Amino acid sequence: MNVLVRLDFPGGSFADLLAEIEHQHLVAAVHDEFHVVLNHGDGVLQFLELADEPHHVLRLVGIHSGAPVTMVITPTENCGIFFHRADLGGSLIPATFDNVTNAALRNTTVGEFPNSVSTIEHLMAALFIAGINSAVIEIDGPEVPILDGSAAEFIQLFKGITQKSSCRRIIVKREILVKKSEILRKLPFIKRVFLIVHDWLLGRRNNGYARLTPDARGTVINATFDYPDKIIGRQAYEYIYGGTRSAANDFIKNIAGARTFGRFSEWEYLKKRGMARGANENNVIALNDKGDGTLNKLKWPDEFVRHQIIDVLGDLATSGGQIVGRIEVYKGGHAMTNLLLRKLFSNPNNYDIVDV
Write out pLDDT tens, residues 284-296: 888 888 888 888 8
Q: What is the total residue count of the chain?
A: 356
Could you tell me where in the chain the CATH 3.30.1700.10 domains are found?
Answer: 168-259+299-355
pLDDT confidence tier of residue 36, bands split at 50, 70 and 90: very low
Q: Do 111 and 83 contact (CB within 8 A), yes or no?
A: yes
Confidence of residue 102 (pLDDT cuts 50, 70, 90): confident
pLDDT single digits (tens) 186-228: 777 776 666 666 566 555 667 789 999 999 999 999 999 998 8
Catalytic site residue from 56, 64, 122, 334:
334
Topology at the third CATH level for domain 168-259+299-355: lpxc deacetylase, domain 1 (3.30.1700)
Dihedral pair phi/psi, residue 209, rounded to 5°: -155, 165
4-157: CATH, from 3.10.20.30, 3.30.230.20, 3.40.50.720, 3.40.718.10: 3.30.230.20
- CA distance linking residue 28 with residue 33, whole number of Å: 8
Report for 8-17, 53-62, 136-145: range of highest mean pLDDT: 136-145
DSSP string across 311-324:
HHHHHHGGGSSEEE
Coil vs helix vs strand at 65: coil
Closest listed residue to residue 85, CA positions, set 99, 67, 71, 101: 71
Q: Residue 208: left (phi > 0), alpha (psi -120 to 50), or beta?
A: beta
Residue pair 38/58 in contact (Cβ under 8 Å)? The answer is yes
d(CA 337, CA 341): 6
In the predicted structure, residue 104 carries a pLDDT above the cut 90: no
Would residue 55 show up in a list of annotated catalytic residues for this protein?
no
For CATH 3.30.230.20, list the domain ranges present in the chain. 4-157
* Least confidently predicted of 37-51, 159-173, 335-349: 37-51
